[in-house]
Structure 1
Amino acid sequence: MRLSVDFFLFAAVGFLAQIVDGALGMAYGVISSTVLLAFGVPPSHASASVHAAEMFTTGASAASHIGHRNVDWNLFWRLVPAGVLGGCIGAYVLTSVDGDVLRPFVTAYLTVMGLYILYRAFRQRRKTVEPHGAVVAPLGVAGGFVDAVGGGGWGPVVTSTLIGTGGAPRYVIGSVNAAEFFVATAVSASFLIALLTGNWREAGGILDHAEAVAGLIVGGLLAAPIAGFVVRHVKTQVLMVVVGVLVIGLAGYQTWQLFTGA
């Protein structure tokens, strides 16, 4: 089978996104979804494609973090059920609403995520403390919901908030990344159930993006072992600024498309 330009393009996107995600604990879904939406892919297709790819990339990432003992299992087990619940609700909403109605809101959400990442890049980190138990579950539900609806956001919402409130970066990133595998799997299963039961309004044409999904998977898996090198040699602030500017720029391009009909 001959691979198209789309496969190699999205392999490059998946590679870049996973490098950043492995180093920061966020941004794979945000970057991938923003690029897919910029190419005219409907929001539900973009989210389904990204979460299908994330089942592989987050699995590799989770195994790596577990192997390096970066996972706080107490935090992990509080995040997983909450994230799965929020993700399933978000997938249900996304498959039940017309994509043309959702696209402006998803674009606005991605713009906010880009601005938030820039804000986090320049915000001084607080003293390390244990994440408060009462915050973790609601945060997991919110992170899972916006991740499913926006095609990304688990890391920017959950990782940033836990680190911003004083969580130890190593264990927050490891635990959140490990939990993300279960969130991505639950969201993908929700999309599949909606497809099989006929409740997904825009399910037609989802297979048209198979090469993009394959590219995201291959690029992400190739990048996973390199993220450790990047986090040691590139400043976190530099990566966050690059991601924030990239996401805002692509979201701005989508906004221009919406207003001009391009």
Structure 2
Amino acid sequence: MPDFATFDFSAILPFILIGFAAQVVDGALGMAFGVISNTALLWIGVPPAAASAGVHTVETFTTAVSGISHTLHRNVNWKLFLRLMIPGVIGGVLGAYVLSNIDAAVAKPFILVYLAGIGIYLLYRAARHAPTTREPKIVEPLGLVGGFLDAAGGGGWGPVVTSNLLVQGATPRTTIGTVNTAEFFLTLTISITFLTQLGWAAFTVATVGLLIGGVLAAPFGAMLAKRVPAKTLLTMVGVILIITSLFGLWRALYH
């Protein structure tokens, strides 16, 4: 746990801004808080398991606020919610356990490659996104894989689940709201799993900053989901993730 009596509060401001910006995008698009925040923590040298644990602890609070906001705006498909939430929790527990029990130095480059891959994946989905609306057929496997990758990579639930549901023709507004709401139960489970494996060491000054910024921004996402074109945000997030992840990978390999 951070010692609030001794640290410089100005050091927390960049993480508040990162948390705010990441959560605005996440709430509007159904993805990005985990991958952006996790990349930022890896940049400053936080071990992969601790970074993922810290981000998911923060997301427990931000997704709760975001889920309530999406519910109030009627952005949640409750049938789809149940189909995603249960396998997502199972995958999240498995991913958190795996990441908590492997060597951090070995894991870091692989996780950064994974995050860069998510960015490329987002750009591809943005280019191929079709406006037709239909009921998605592949749901439970997405929840399982998305939950596992989210815990193991510090982000991935939104990029994997939201993008694939949209490609299948699901309605963007309710898909984004549903994925965000289901994410609360995923992040709560992952956080508890990490705490049993790592303790409270992952709850640092950086995660406190992300928490403050994320909670402040969470109510705005549901409103933006109705107004900002998903394709535009998808492209922007993909570009940001590719740049930040490749830079982090370069640092991990050559520093």
Short-chain TM bin: over 0.9
Deviation readout 1:112-138 (Å, 9 max, x if unpaired): 001111122222315211121xx2111
Give the partner amino acid of 2:216.
L
Cross-structure match for 2:13: 8
What residue ranges of structure 2 are gaps of 5+ in the alignment? Answer: none
Q: Please give the alpha-carbon distance, in whole angstroms, between the structure 2 residues aligned to 1:231 and 1:154.
A: 17
Cross-structure match for 1:199: none
Q: Please give the alpha-carbon distance, in whole angstroms, between the structure 2 residues aligned to 1:84 and 1:227.
A: 23
Deviation readout 1:128-174 (Å, 9 max, x if unpaired): 11121xx2111100000000011011000001001111111122111
Q: Are 1:167 and 2:179 matched, yes or no?
A: no
SS in 2 for 1:206: coil
> Closer, same or farther in 2 for the Cα pair 1:88/1:113, shift >3 Å?
same
Cross-structure match for 1:184: 187
Q: Give, in angstroms, the shift of residue 240 of structure 1.
A: 2.2
Q: Please give the alpha-carbon distance, in whole angstroms, between the structure 2 residues aligned to 1:214 and 1:48.
A: 12
Q: Give, in angstroms, the shift of residue 4 of structure 1.
A: 2.8
Over the matched positions of the two proteins, sequence identity in percent amounts to 49
Q: Are 1:91 and 2:91 matched, yes or no?
A: no
SS in 1 for 2:100: helix
Q: What pairs up with 1:65-84 in 2 under 5 angstroms? A: 65-84=70-89
4+ residue stretches of structure 1 with deviation over 6 A? none
> Closer, same or farther in 2 for the Cα pair 1:26/1:224, shift >3 Å?
same
Q: Give, in angstroms, the shift of residue 73 of structure 1.
A: 1.0
Instruction: Kindly tell me the number of residue pairs found equivalent between the two proteins.
Output: 250
Cross-structure match for 2:38: 33
> Closer, same or farther in 2 for the Cα pair 1:139/1:125, shift >3 Å?
same
Q: Give, in angstroms, the shift of residue 253 of structure 1.
A: 1.1
TM, length-normalised to structure 1: 0.90
Is contact 1:25–1:176 with CA below 8 Å preserved after alignment? yes
The alignment's C-alpha RMSD in Å is 1.7
Q: Are 1:256 and 2:228 matched, yes or no?
A: no
What residue ranges of structure 1 are gaps of 5+ in the alignment? Answer: 197-202
Cross-structure match for 1:206: 202
Is contact 2:51–2:202 with CA below 8 Å preserved after alignment? no
